[in-house]
Amino acid sequence: MKFNLEEQLAEELSLEIGQVNRTIKLLKDGNTIPFIARYRKEATGKLDEVTLRDLKARWEYLEKLQQRKEEVIASIAKQDKLTAELEAKINQVAKLQELEDIYRPYRPKRRTRATMAKEKGLEPLASKFLEQKVESGSIKEICSEYLDSEQDLSSIEDVLQGVRDIVAEYVADQAVSRRLARQITLDEGQLVSKSKVDEQQTDYEIYYDYQEQIQKVPPYRVLAINRGEEEDILQVKVTSNDEKIINKLENQFITGDSIFKEELKLAIEDAYYRLVGPAIEREIRSHLTDKAEEHAIDVFSKNLRNLLLQPPLKNSKVLAIDPAFRTGCKIAVLDCFGELLVTETIYPHKPQNRKQEAKEILTDLINGHQLNTIAIGNGTACRETEQLVTELIQELELDLKYIIVNEAGASVYSASKLAGVEFPELDVAMRGAISIGRRLQDPLAELVKIDPKHIGVGMYQHDINQSRLEEALETVVESVVNYVGVDLNSASSALLGYVAGINSGVADYIIEYREENKGFKNREELKEVYRLGPKTFTQAAGFLKIKDGVNLLDETAIHPESYQIAEQLLKRFNFELKDLKNKSALKELKQSLKDCALVDISEELKVGLPTLKDIKESLLKPGRDPRDKLPKPIFKEEILAIEDLKPDMILSGTVRNVVDFGAFVDIGVKEDGLVHISKLSAQYITDPLEVVGVGDNVEVKVLEVDSSRGRISLTMDF
């Protein structure tokens, strides 16, 4: 009986077979995950993005498995060793590892000690040893028949060594051997590391004499140990209960007392130490690394999602400062839409120390453009620039506030091709100031321009498989962009490139059309964009919004394919599209829809209930930005330095990064404070993300301050 992919998926993910079949068909037809999740709920049974991505990943894995099964079956059949029983066993396998274990005895091999022994004609003798049939005579008498000086079999020991080599490889090739050794090593084995540099001080001193049970090694330690090994500072190995494994193997392959028993025991011991053990060690190390990377990528992804979902600062001009000493602080004034109004450079710090001049320039900019918000990058000279700004706030006595913005990756953007296209006449430092300001105004729109790895919310990202990390982070950005939606008439090419169905080339053509036609008036115009065909339009249209367009539905998340349903729903309660802009009419509509029976209406309008519910929500909140309900950034009016901190001070802060051992919180000084995982909650937790996320505003108490090392210990459990 052949393995049924759809049934396996349904069982693993606790789904109905119909859900799986319909979802796979949608994926095979080229539909994107964001589109399926939002606009094909009836087909999938309302599967969310996470489940859809899990299903897609597992589906691709099982298809790869099926392809490999066919290759394995063909290979074994070519060797005339395929039996009906073996083929059935292969077809029922659900893991690639299990498949490879079964295939190992049949896999074409390089020239090994066993193959050389077989070339000398010792395979029949080895089979006798494995069969363990009682025969007359002694081992020496049986082996003497195979003495052949021309084959380098001059002594009984030469023959026995060849036989043991064949038996050892046979034992090592059996799936049961790998399975036994693997399970015992996973259950009882330990990860061990020793120093290769004696007592030298390095970042890895904690691992100079370290051992921990494999099942208990936290992911971040695995990655740290891997890095220490890569830098030739640590020697790392996996230890196991070797004696137990060998005993289990002996019980598996030795059927009882016979004249072959002692030789078989020697062969089995050799099989484990020379072949099985090293292979399992490599496999376990790879397994630990894969799990650690998967965990690190998951944490990075969650942090990135929270960061990208930070609420925008709407309807506010911003004065952005990229601090520096010798080269001066670059200043960019941005309008409410992030457009550059003016740039300046001031030199308030050493070596120039033109502080008064800097204050005068800032005052002119603040008054001239009626500014009340300042964004300061958190890089070099941030502390000194913050001091300058707070002094100015006190002197001007204006309603002026500032915020420190994490500028991680700003330099990457500044030197990018995209930045060169946006601001060809500006130097990289000035582009950095613009990016800092825009990060405050609309974090998502600005941060999508930067490779997610450089945004500064991960851990050990350089030690992780880069293609896996990049794929995962790209998925997060795509998910967030489509969840929030994109303003078709203001989005950058970078932002448009993440919209479902749109690639970078089509994004550029959208920008080109927009500039030539002075903006899009409605979503239908997308069909006029070069290389944006019907399929792409279907995937992308619902995520591209147009403010103040000719059709008010273009400002909602309602897909154009459902416009007729939306209008019929409004008409049913005696409303029109124009009423969506009328507050009193919208209030009446809200009440009417609140009291209506959607089940009956869905049957009447011949539309699925999930889609009708989404249409209703979109009609009641046209132009809604899901980020608006999230915590706003914390602004400051006066400076706080690390020297000002004292134990037991209670402060407000913003979570900047979450790692396995805790959370880093910006409390308004240059250095972020650490809330250790044990101090995040009164209850015991195993994952900091259970309690906090990047961007959360939290209350913390200072526990300890080490000014010389720039370390601040905080607690949320007070």
CA distances for 3 relative to 91, 98, 690, angstroms: 5, 14, 38
Burial class from Cβ neighbours inside 10 Å (0-12, 13-18, 19+) for residue 145 reads exposed
By three-state DSSP, how is residue 544 classified? strand
- Which residues are 644's β-sheet partners? none
Average pLDDT over residues 620-649: 86
Confidence of residue 31 (pLDDT cuts 50, 70, 90): very high
Average pLDDT over residues 177-200: 95
Residues 6+ away with beta carbon under 8 Å from 370 = 317
Angle of the 598-605 helix axis to the 563-572 helix axis, nearest 10: 120
Confidence of residue 594 (pLDDT cuts 50, 70, 90): confident
pTM of the model: 0.89
Average pLDDT over residues 343-352: 97
Residue 703: phi and psi, rounded to 5, are -100, -50
**CA-closest candidate to residue 519, choices 490, 554, 545:** 490
- One DSSP character per residue, 595-619 reads HS-HHHHHHHHT--HHHHHHHHHHH
Higher-confidence residue of 585 and 328: namely: 328
Q: What is the pLDDT of residue 55?
A: 97
Q: What is the pLDDT of residue 135?
A: 66
What's the one-letter identity of residue 714?
L
Please state the length of the chain.
718
> Which tens digit of pLDDT belongs to each residue from 562-572?
999 999 999 99
| Cα 205 from Cα 198, distance rounded (Å) | 10
| Cα 489 from Cα 511, distance rounded (Å) | 9
Class of domain 642-715: mainly beta
Residue whose token pair is 């009447």: 604
Q: What is the pLDDT of residue 456?
A: 80
> Which tens digit of pLDDT belongs to each residue from 659-716?
999 999 999 887 899 999 999 999 999 999 999 999 999 999 999 999 888 899 999 9
Q: What is the pLDDT of residue 669?
A: 84
State whether CATH 1.10.20.10 applies to domain 5-106: no
> Which tens digit of pLDDT belongs to each residue from 407-425?
988 889 999 998 999 999 9
574, two tokens: 């005696």
Q: Which CATH superfamily is domain 513-629 in?
A: Tex RuvX-like domain-like (1.10.150.310)
Residues 6+ away with beta carbon under 8 Å from 145 = none
SS (H, E, C) 99-134: HHHHHHHHCCCCCCHHHHHHHCCCHHHHHHHHHCCC
CA distances for 276 relative to 86, 98, 249, 310, angstroms: 23, 15, 11, 51
| Cα 540 from Cα 550, distance rounded (Å) | 19
Residue 344: phi and psi, rounded to 5, are -150, 165
Indicate if the pLDDT at residue 640 is higher than 80: no
Burial class from Cβ neighbours inside 10 Å (0-12, 13-18, 19+) for residue 270 reads buried
C-beta atoms surrounding 504 within 10 Å: 11
> Which tens digit of pLDDT belongs to each residue from 270-301?
999 999 999 999 999 999 999 999 999 999 99
489, two tokens: 């008439």
SS (H, E, C) 548-569: CCCCHHHHCCCCHHHHHHHHHH
State whether CATH 3.10.310.70 applies to domain 113-300: no
542, two tokens: 């619902």
C-beta atoms surrounding 597 within 10 Å: 9
| Cα 82 from Cα 100, distance rounded (Å) | 15
Q: What's the mean per-residue pLDDT of the chain?
A: 94
Q: What is the pLDDT of residue 351?
A: 96
Say whether the peptide bond before residue 351 is cis (omega within 30 degrees of 0).
Answer: yes
| Cα 627 from Cα 639, distance rounded (Å) | 28
- One DSSP character per residue, 144-166 reads HTT-BGGGTB-SHHHHHHHHHHH
**CA-closest candidate to residue 375, choices 341, 403, 401, 352:** 403
> Which tens digit of pLDDT belongs to each residue from 88-143?
999 989 899 999 999 999 998 889 999 999 999 999 999 999 999 876 789 999 99
| Cα 82 from Cα 65, distance rounded (Å) | 19
Average pLDDT over residues 470-479: 95
Percent of residues in the chain assigned helix, strand, coil, to nearest 5: 55, 10, 30
Q: What is the pLDDT of residue 3?
A: 65
Q: How far from the centroid of its chain's Cα atoms is residue 24's Cα? A: 23
Round the CA-based radius of gyration of the chain to a whole number and report it: 33
Q: What is the pLDDT of residue 2?
A: 61
Q: How far from the centroid of its chain's Cα atoms is residue 582's Cα? A: 43
Q: Running DSSP on this structure, what letter comes out for residue 529?
A: S
Range name among 168-172, 246-250, 384-388, 584-588 with the lowest pLDDT average: 584-588
Architecture of the structural domain at 318-441: 2-Layer Sandwich (3.30)
Q: Are 118 and 159 in contact (CB under 8 A)?
A: no
| Cα 527 from Cα 546, distance rounded (Å) | 15
The domain limits of the chain are 5-106, 113-300, 318-441, 513-629, 642-715
> Which tens digit of pLDDT belongs to each residue from 478-520?
999 999 999 999 999 999 999 999 999 999 999 999 999 999 9
Beta strands (DSSP E) in 267-313 are none
C-beta atoms surrounding 86 within 10 Å: 16
Higher-confidence residue of 397 and 698: namely: 698
121 Rama class: left (phi>0) / alpha (psi -120 to 50) / beta: left
Q: Are 165 and 113 in contact (CB under 8 A)?
A: yes
Q: What is the pLDDT of residue 286?
A: 96
| Cα 428 from Cα 432, distance rounded (Å) | 6
Q: What is the pLDDT of residue 704?
A: 96
